[in-house]
């Protein structure tokens, strides 16, 4: 299956109540053969209006961070745990996350990226399926199911808390080093395994 075919399959999704309040379903955007798949939490106002992920200020910072490691937006794929915006940008409910996460897992299966970079606590905890603070796991590769996860601070957090900008830039450099290394995903594991590569 291609991303286009999968998009056609879920474009009218009503698996949770957000299907009724969204303006546009925000499927994801970027390179279908990307080595990196970035995952945020959920679309915000502008994403909902345009049907594209990371189009606001946080998206601009993400583009800048990519440029610093020699990448363009068109080199990577960007998606969210939720495809539809929670009203007033409230936190997603557990039911919404459970309903929508299979869509993201299908995208990962289709793209087969070298690494899935979760952005922020919420996306990281959802994909790791552990209530672990991002400060403990950021910029470390972790095996989950049959793919590798490399958590990072969310660019929006770095916009609101200036001190995060430096560490986020450093972690993008670690991501670049990680991608240049020859680490290959391991076969399916039952539990998330911390590899502590750096
Ligand atoms: S948030 Fe996900 S599960 Fe809920 S309606 Fe949108 S696409 Fe479907």
How would you write 39-86 as a 3-class SS string? EECCCCHHHHHHCCCCCCHHHHHHHHHHHHCCCCHHHCEEEECCCCCC
Domains of the chain: which residue ranges?
3-179
Whether the model clears a pTM of 0.85, i.e. scores above it, the answer is yes
Which residue's C-alpha comes closest to atom 3 of ligand 1?
Answer: 100
Ligand 1 in contact with 67 (CB < 6 A)?
A: no
Enter the tokens of residue 13.
Answer: 């999704």
Q: Does domain 3-179 have CATH number 3.40.640.10?
A: no
Cα of 97 from ligand 1 centre, angstroms = 9
Ligand 1 in contact with 82 (CB < 6 A)?
A: yes
Instruction: Work out the widest C-alpha separation in the chain, in whole angstroms.
Output: 45
Mutate to test the pocket of ligand 1, among 8, 19, 85, 90 (most ligand atoms within 8 A of CB): 19
Per-residue pLDDT of the chain (198 residues; tens, 9 = 90+): 999 999 999 999 999 999 999 999 999 999 999 999 999 999 999 999 999 999 999 999 999 999 999 999 999 999 999 999 999 989 999 999 999 999 999 999 999 999 999 999 999 999 999 999 999 999 999 999 889 999 999 999 999 999 999 999 999 999 999 999 866 544 444 444 444 443
Mutate to test the pocket of ligand 1, among 12, 15, 17, 90 (most ligand atoms within 8 A of CB): 15
């Amino acid at each position: 299956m291609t991303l286009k075919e999968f998009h056609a399959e879920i474009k009218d999704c009503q698996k949770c109540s957000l299907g009724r309040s969204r303006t546009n379903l925000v499927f994801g955007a970027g390179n279908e053969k990307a080595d990196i798949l970035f995952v945020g939490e959920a679309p915000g106002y502008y994403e909902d209006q345009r049907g594209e992920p990371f189009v606001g200020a946080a998206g601009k910072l993400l583009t800048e961070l990519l440029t610093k490691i020699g990448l363009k937006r068109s080199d990577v794929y960007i998606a969210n745990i939720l495809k539809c915006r929670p009203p007033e940008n409230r936190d997603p409910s557990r039911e919404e996350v459970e309903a929508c996460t299979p869509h993201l897992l299908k995208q990962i299966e289709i793209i087969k990226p070298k690494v899935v970079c979760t952005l922020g606590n919420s996306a990281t905890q959802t994909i790791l399926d552990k209530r672990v603070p991002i400060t403990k796991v950021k910029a470390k590769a972790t095996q989950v199911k049959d793919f590798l996860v490399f958590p990072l601070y969310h660019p929006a957090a770095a916009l609101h808390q200036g001190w995060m900008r430096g560490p986020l830039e450093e972690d993008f450099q670690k991501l670049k080093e990680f991608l240049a290394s020859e680490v290959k995903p391991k076969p399916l594991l039952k539990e998330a395994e911390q590899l502590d590569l750096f």
